[in-house]
């Protein structure tokens, strides 16, 4: 006992020493810190943030972000530039070689400078051309997409499709571092939209995804459109194009027209704002081989797939298309027969690659044949001076129909999930009246109930498109009379009669209203919120999905919030109502 007692006494004496040594070691462990935890800056000033003891701590990677990039932005290397009065938080994500991660914060207060400097040019809504040293005209970023805002065939633009614009934006848009009452069909209740999330894994192309790759049986395009709810567009992003853009990096294109780098937080924010689907316009020709095979660059594919998965992770549907894409579509109307054949070869090659690339994905990934270029622009000498072969509109309808049929045939030929993938075919000029023309025909398909048709809605053009009160073909700064609403109901009723009632639900791929430009300033038009609300209500009650054209002006991608409180309230309210109702399918009329 005495011997053991001595051992216990010795142990008790050693324990405090061991404990104090352990605590001392714990205290000695260093964590990464920023050189500043708070900054007070004047607008226009720059400050540098750095991580202390990077070598000692074996820092593997750092990345910086700003919670309010319009107040102060931060570069990849930690340079903070104050832009306008306000407060923001700079976050530095630090990853050590041992795998440990830290989030370091620096609060930034920006004060107004006594003598203000010009801030980053604000996004404008009317195209304004400026010339760069090379002589290329570049319009500033617009709410209405830059590739289609000049009138087609008539002086006054088509009521349900935008007039044409030029395609390359100005220097200011370059990256800065960074219900119609219808017959009462019987309601058909379907199961609530199931989440397609699976455990995080890599796609066959090495992209992180949670998509489960399932294609459900027992549903059709009407169920899909109902689940798509309210949609939006990732405008002026992956479809940005222009010969002045440095082709060495995908991000140069992604940010060329003023958009920030797309993040998961942006797509999650859109879903939380009431959007259940997103259209991602893509300019695939931006990074493509010129060897005659039209091979799409792997890095460009990777970036589109990554953004697509941001949306899928947020439980959104995704629409992928070939957008304006530099205007090559006009080669379908080339006066050279060989070139016309080459245009079809390119179109088929692109859809073959896109289909094979995304074949593994679930029904939440939808393909759209084109943007607004199927129709008059196939013959546009503005887009391609060698065009102009077609002499009648009948020929243009025939070519449009042939292109859409080729789209369906190519996608289906790749098999797998693409054998049943839901497809959207672009309408003629995406114009409601022309798409409802008997000369426009839906393509034949190998599977029933898997096709949709897409049109755009910018009607009346004098309200939705014209921003200048002195505009030559008319201008309106307000909307919302009984006549206005009745006209909208009539146009959507036209789509219901010609397509919905014949088994083809409708995607309103774009709709929007440009601001007025008064004395150089953008002013929101009266009734814009009501216009948005009525588009959403009427279409969703009639088996259509409305997809807002947005270039970060309605949902601000930098602040991750809706910019207008009325819009915020309306979209959340309508989105909730859609989810509370079952899908109602029409009694299909057979021709």
Catalytic residues: 372, 510
How far apart are alpha carbons 334 and 389 in whole angstroms? 6
Q: Minimal CA–CA distance to 318: which of 113, 507, 537, 65?
A: 507
How far apart are alpha carbons 443 and 393 in whole angstroms? 19
Per DSSP, the three-state class of 223 is: helix
CA angle 436, 439, 441 (to 5 degrees): 75
Residues facing residue 106 across a β-bridge: 90
Q: Are strands 101-111 and 86-96 parallel, antiparallel or unpaired?
A: antiparallel
In sequence order, what E strands does 309-370 have? 317-321, 365-368
Across the chain, how many H-helices and E-strands are there?
Answer: 13, 23
Question: For tokens 């009329």, what's the residue?
Answer: 589
Mapping DSSP onto H, E and C, the string for 75-123 reads: CCCCEEEECCCEEEEEEEEEEECCCCEEEEEEEEEEECCCCCCCCCCCC
Per DSSP, the three-state class of 571 is: helix
Q: For residue 351, what are the CA distances in angstroms to 289, 411, 413, 420?
A: 15, 7, 11, 15
Give the H/E segment covering residue 25.
helix 2-28
């Amino acid at each position: 006992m005495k011997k053991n007692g001595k051992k216990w006494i010795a142990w008790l004496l050693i324990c405090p020493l061991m404990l104090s040594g352990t605590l001392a070691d714990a205290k000695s462990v260093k964590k990464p810190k920023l050189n500043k935890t708070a900054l007070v800056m004047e607008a226009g000033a720059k400050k540098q943030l750095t991580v202390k003891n990077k070598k000692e701590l074996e820092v593997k990677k750092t990345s910086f972000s700003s919670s309010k990039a319009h107040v102060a932005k931060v570069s990849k290397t930690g340079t903070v530039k104050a832009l306008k009065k306000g407060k923001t938080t700079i976050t530095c994500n630090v990853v050590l070689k041992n795998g440990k991660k830290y989030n370091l914060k620096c609060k930034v207060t920006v004060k107004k400078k006594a003598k203000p400097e010009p801030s980053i040019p604000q996004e404008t809504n009317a195209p304004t051309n400026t010339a760069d040293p090379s002589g290329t005209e570049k319009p500033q970023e617009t709410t209405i997409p830059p590739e289609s805002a000049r009138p087609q065939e008539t002086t006054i633009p088509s009521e349900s499709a935008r007039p044409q614009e030029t395609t390359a934006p100005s220097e200011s848009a370059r990256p800065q571092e960074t219900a119609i009452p219808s017959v009462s069909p019987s309601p058909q209740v379907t199961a609530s939209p199931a989440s397609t999330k699976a455990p995080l894994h890599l796609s066959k192309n090495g992209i992180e995804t949670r998509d489960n790759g399932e294609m459900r049986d027992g549903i059709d395009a009407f169920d899909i459109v109902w689940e798509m709810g309210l949609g939006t567009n990732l405008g002026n992003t992956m479809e940005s194009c222009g010969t002045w853009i440095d082709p060495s990096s995908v991000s140069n294109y992604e940010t060329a027209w003023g958009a920030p780098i797309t993040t998961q937080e942006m797509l999650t924010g859109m879903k939380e704002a009431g959007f259940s689907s997103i259209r991602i316009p893509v300019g695939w020709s931006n990074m493509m081989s010129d060897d005659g095979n039209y091979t799409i660059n792997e890095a460009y594919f990777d970036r589109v797939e990554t953004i697509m998965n941001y949306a899928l992770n947020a439980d959104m549907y995704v629409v992928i298309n070939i957008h304006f894409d530099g205007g090559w579509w006009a080669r379908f109307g080339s006066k050279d027969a060989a070139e016309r054949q080459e245009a079809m070869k390119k179109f088929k090659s692109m859809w073959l690659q896109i289909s094979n690339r995304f074949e593994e994905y679930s029904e939440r990934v939808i393909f759209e044949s084109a943007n607004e270029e199927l129709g008059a622009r196939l013959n546009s000498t503005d887009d391609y001076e060698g065009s102009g072969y077609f002499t009648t509109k009948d020929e243009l309808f025939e070519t449009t129909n042939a292109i859409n049929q080729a789209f369906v045939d190519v996608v289906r030929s790749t098999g797998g999930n693409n054998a049943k993938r839901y497809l959207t075919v672009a309408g003629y000029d995406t114009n409601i009246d022309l798409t409802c023309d008997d000369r426009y025909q839906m393509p034949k398909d190998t599977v029933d109930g898997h096709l949709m048709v897409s049109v755009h809605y910018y009607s009346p053009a004098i309200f939705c498109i014209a921003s200048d009160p002195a505009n030559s073909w008319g201008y309106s700064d307000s909307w919302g009379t009984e006549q206005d609403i009745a006209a909208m109901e009539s146009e959507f009723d036209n789509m219901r009669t010609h397509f919905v009632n014949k088994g083809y639900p409708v995607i309103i791929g774009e709709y929007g209203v440009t601001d007025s430009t008064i004395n150089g300033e953008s002013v929101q038009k009266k009734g814009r919120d009501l216009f948005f609300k009525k588009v959403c209500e009427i279409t969703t009650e009639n088996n259509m999905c409305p997809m807002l054209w947005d270039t970060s002006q309605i949902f601000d991608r930098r602040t991750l919030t809706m910019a207008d409180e009325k819009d915020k309230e309306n979209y959340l309210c309508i989105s909730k109502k859609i989810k509370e109702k079952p899908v109602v399918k029409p009694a299909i009329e057979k021709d």
